[in-house]
Chain A
Amino acid sequence: MIECPVCSHKEFTGALFCQECGAKLIGISGLTTQTIRVKVTPPVPELQAEQAINNTPAPPVDVAIYLHILDTGDVVPLEGTGEFTMGRSTEGYPFLPDIDLAPYSALENGVSRLHTSINLGIPQALVTDIGSANGTWLNGLKLSPNSPSPIKHGDILTLGKLKIQLLIRR
């Protein structure tokens, strides 16, 4: 038997998808909701958004992409490859984003439950607004929903009012 990583439903060996919640049971690493350890790295003190653009930290070397939350200075690593949805979790609501921004004042900043997705594709990483209520901006330009845009190291993503800088290692 195998266990669904999302809902813990037991499935027969050889099952490709969970019959209970529809989650993919093949190659699940990197596609499941990840627990993000808050304050993984020491906060960068007193770093303002404007400064951050000029003082972009060097691209990290151990993982493909980091999210640098400009308001709090937290740096969140994305592990694995593939597509990550970003948004905020709500109690009692079944939608879970891969990257939960709730600990970073997502609600106050107008982040939707499912807001934006980042695809660490090769050769080009892409960002897509997945129908958020308050929109996504890439370096100040508003993205039209559901159409992917290429992203590069140092880009600033704004989800509602939450500013995130992308640190990408290539």
Chain B
Amino acid sequence: MELETFYDRLDLPRDATSDEIRHAYREMVRRFHPDRNINPGETELFMGVQEAFEILTDPDRKADYDSNLPSWAIKSDPIIVSTIYSQKTLTNVPEPQLIYLLLNLGIRPEEVNTERPPLNLCLVLDCSTSMQGARLDSVKSTAIELIRQLQDKDIFSIVKFNDRAEVVLPANRRIDNQNAELRIQLLQTGGGTEIFQGLDFGMREVRTFWNTKQINHIILITDGRTYGDEENCLQLADQAQSLHVGISALGIGNKWNDSFLDTLTAKTGGSSGYIIKGEDIRQFTIEKVVGLAHIYADQVTFHFETPPEVSLSYAFRLHPDITPLGTSSPLVMGAVPYESSQTLLLEFLVKSIPAISEEVVLAQGRLSYLVPGHLEKISYIQRLVLKRPISEDFDSSPPPAAIMHAMSRLILYRMQEKARADMARGNVKDANRRLQYLATHLLAQGQRDLAKSVLSEVAHIQNNKSFSEDGEKRIKYGTRSLLLPPGIEEILR
């Protein structure tokens, strides 16, 4: 059983005010009151909440409780948040304005030595007919290589699916290599692609040894489009997120549904990747697993509120695993790696400046996350307030180079997004004009191959009034890969 304080029970930081305690309690009552709850264990959860509430709202007992908190509970927050804004101030003008923010989550230096948590990993493999040949061969050799690289503490499982799913390798530690390799070699293709079947079995395997002291993750490898079970898949992703299980997806070739898998994986803090050739499966998968093995804080989530005049209009994760994020609370931010940090780019639209105030709160709330490598306290909650002062004059100093650098690449990805949105509305002319602008910028940045892909897509759209499945993904993941730190682009080529 994980150690928790009364504050943790109410999902609150340790310096919560009495108003916040009351508010959090009411939330919990709504969710877990014995008259309302449905899931087993929630009544016990509610009793714990009730106990915490009674003590924390009694000033004497709270003071007594606070002064007796054990050492693990009063350590400072292990994650350090730093921010870079595009402008020092918001301007007091009677019109909407935008402000950009690079949000950086690093870890406290002494935390670098935290022990690496074990992995609880399930590979969910599409074995539909279209995977036959080089694709499946590459998947097989990748799976075998992964098993050889596992450590004794890691838990691993493999699920295959087509129209139905089947456990190839049940979740276990210290897998018998020979037996596992034999089973992998016997994988055969046939049938269609029903992703929900695969994910459902994958979740079961991950849940066999599930706990929060490890990195629980599903890697889905598919080359097809799932029909009719998208809704089930998204529900399963919500469930995975509530259990702190991440889902990543790798799409091969041009038939799979990238928008769907982006939505699915983003719900859990994961991401999707695109490869053209079967041979690239190995590199992507191994890099993904290495990334998982270097997670310090997992399932970072920002529960936030914005004042009525402010909205989060765009959110994008630049590192690790570049991917667009949702813009509503909670913002599922994903993982913070040991060696580097997590970086997000956020765009806030401030519709008006409130009268008689000196600053605007862009978003405030609590950042929650797990540190699976910690022995005592694993889940953390810390406060996060994003705000800017108001000035009378426009801040004309140039925006920080880091923001300009990120935005100069992100704008290309967003132009691609908009071109796709144009096409979805049947607006061929706008989409084409946007793609031509995009090609110009790509040429100016020296991305000649990608620019060529964009221009050939322009021609394709003119002739067919639709994107080619191949070009659409090539441009999307190509512009996305421009945001990668140098040296990694090759994976996506």
Contact = CB atoms under 8 A, between A and B. Distances in A.
B443 interface: yes
Nearest to A24: B408
Contacts of A131: 443, 448
A114 interface: yes
Nearest to B96: A12
A13 B448 contact: no
A62 to B, nearest CB: 25
Interface in A68-106: 85, 94-96
SS of B interface (majority): helix
A170 B446 CA distance: 28
SS of A interface (majority): loop
Given A22-B411, A26-B399, A131-B448, A15 B98 contact: yes
A85 B100 CA distance: 29
A15 B229 CA distance: 40
B26 to A, nearest CB: 37
B225 to A, nearest CB: 30
Interface in B341-356: 349
A19 B349 contact: no
User: Contact size class for B?
Assistant: 35 or more
Nearest to B437: A21
Interface residues of A, number: 24
B364 to A, nearest CB: 20
A22 B404 contact: no
B97 A14 contact: yes
A95 B441 contact: no
B382 interface: no
A94 to B, nearest CB: 4
Contact of A85 (B97, B418, B434, B444): B444
Nearest to B430: A20
Contacts of A7: 437
B440 interface: yes
A13 B98 contact: yes
A24 B446 CA distance: 17
B97 A12 contact: yes
Given A13-B394, A16-B407, A22 B441 contact: yes
Interface string A1-27: 100000100011111110111101011
B147 interface: no
Contacts of A26: 398-399, 404
Interface string B410-453: 01101100100000000000000110111111011010100000
B91 interface: yes
B311 interface: no
Contacts of B448: 131
Contacts of A130: 443-444, 446
A19 B100 CA distance: 14
B404 A16 contact: yes
Contact of B415 (A12, A22, A27): A22
Interface in B69-119: 86-87, 90-91, 93, 95-100
B443 A114 contact: yes
A41 interface: no
Give the 10 A-B residue pairs with the shortest CB-CB distance, closest first.
A14-B98, A13-B97, A17-B411, A94-B436, A14-B97, A21-B437, A12-B98, A22-B441, A16-B407, A22-B411
19 contacts: A13-B394, A14-B90, A14-B97, A16-B403, A16-B407, A16-B411, A17-B407, A17-B408, A21-B437, A22-B411, A22-B437, A22-B438, A22-B441, A26-B398, A85-B444, A94-B440, A130-B444, A130-B446, A131-B448
Given A16-B404, A22-B437, 16 more contacts: A12-B95, A12-B97, A12-B349, A16-B411, A20-B434, A20-B437, A22-B438, A26-B398, A94-B433, A94-B439, A95-B440, A95-B443, A96-B440, A130-B443, A131-B443, A146-B446
Interface of A: 1, 7, 11-17, 19-22, 24, 26-27, 85, 94-96, 114, 130-131, 146
Interface of B: 86-87, 90-91, 93, 95-100, 349, 394, 398-399, 403-404, 407-408, 411-412, 414-415, 418, 433-434, 436-441, 443-444, 446, 448
